[in-house]
Structure formats: C-alpha cells, structure tokens
Amino acid sequence: MYIDVEKGVRINVHDINPGSGSRPVVFVHGWPLNHRMFEYQFNVLPAYGFRCIGIDLRGFGESDKPWHGYTYDRLGDDVAAVAEALDLQDAALVGFSIGGPISLRYLARHPAHQGSRIRKLVLIDPAAPAFARRPDNPYGMPVEQIDDLIRQTAADRPKMLQDLSLQFFNRNVGPGLLNWFVSMGMQAASYATIQFLVALRDEDVTNDLRAIRVPTSILHGVHDKVVAYPIAQRLQQGLPGSTLQPLYNSGHGSVVDEMDAVNAALLSALR
C-alpha cells in the first residue's frame, strides 16, 4: 500500500499479518536498502502473532523518490505519518542502522506518540547517536571516508554497493546474498543514496536521547565494520534504562549474520 506523507510524496508500506489480535511492529530499514532487508524477520514474527509493517523510506525501494526531504527531521516525520495513517496503537518500532537515528528523531519530535502509538523501541546496529567521527564520537567513520563513499556513489554506484556488500556481513555469504544486497541498493535513487550519506555525516541525535521515554533494547554486532560496537555502548549510556545485547558473531548485517539470535531477541523484547 502507499501512504501520502506530504503533498506529492507517497511511502510504500508492506503490511504482513494485519487484523485484530496481531501486535504491530514497524520496521525502519538502513542505508542503502529497503524493507526487504527484514525478510528473515518477516518469515518468523507473524507466526508469533506479530503484524510486521515494513516501510520503504523515501528515495528507496518502491517509495516515491523526490529530490528533497532526506534529513532526519523529514524522515522521522514520514514515519510519524505512517503511524498516524495506520492509526497504530501500542506498536513496537524497530530501526536498523540509519533507521535507528531516524526512529529516535521521530519519537523526539512526536512525543505524544510515545506510550500510545509506540510502546517499545528496538535498535539494531544503530548509527546513533552519531555516525561520523568527531571528538565526542572517536569510533565513528572518518568524514573523509564518508565523503569518499559519496564520490563513489556519484561515479559508479554498482561498484560502491558491491564493495560495501563485502564489508556488511561477518561470514562468508554466497553470491546470492551479496547480489540480493546490491539489488536492494540499486532500487534506490542515486541522489537519495547520496543524501542519506550526507545526513549520516552531518547529523547527530545526541540531544534527542533525553526525550525518549519508551523501553529501548539495542542489539549490535561486535564485529561491525560500518558502525563500531563502542558507538552502541555510548548510545546505551545516553538512554537510561535501555539494554544492550552484543551479537558476538555479527558484523553490520546482523539480521542475516545471526538471524536466529536476532529473531529470538526481538521476540523477547517485543513481548
């Protein structure tokens, strides 16, 4: 289905197992992917009574691809618009990688949704509170490296995605999974892929953390080469009452690297 989030912009939403009695879970994907990255969660959670709602963020997957709107503020407002359009109540929110800061910004900008529309938050390998390296975030990705990804995307996006796929997982995945990753990335608009990198480089949700009032669980691969594990430790320290579960056999792609452990942790956190 498609949901209008602003004039001229529709967001694609994949809704699995809707109906009375199913507990809604909203999934916000990472860069440069789309809702299909949660395939191995969508295979499992509905059997336990969960309604899985996968959002394609603007510019990605089957959503509209406007030139504008790739800030955390606008992307967070898009998630809010989906929650309101579906009239979600007592839903859980799962944010992966950049989906983490987008989810945090959404809740900070829409505090009335906390405890009503959204009751729990799960962050998987989140690029939060900041992605880029800076004095208060020494384990972040160097700005020069992010700028190089921007240049690679502008010059040869398929090669950038192929190279990134080799860093994403912590196990020897076959060509099928690597091609799956690249094909999702190629469904995005190139300019959206670049603008998400700009947001990752320039934005910071540290000040949003104090506004989060829902129970929060963080899952993070200790071998993550994209968002280093110490960033998750810093995030947990900034979210009083949150929990951090290390995934000892995962890189950044923990939803595939340790799909069984991630699914078990999700089932535990979402109950």
Q: Which residues are catalytic?
A: 97, 224, 252
Pairing relation of β-strands 50-55 and 23-28?
parallel
Tell me the β-bridge partners of 118. Answer: 91, 114
- Residue 185 near residue 32 (C-beta atoms within 8 A): yes
CA distances from 58 to 62, 76, 94, 177, 223 (A): 9, 11, 17, 24, 29
Size of the chain in residues? 271
CA distances from 79 to 19, 28, 53, 135, 230 (A): 21, 8, 11, 31, 27
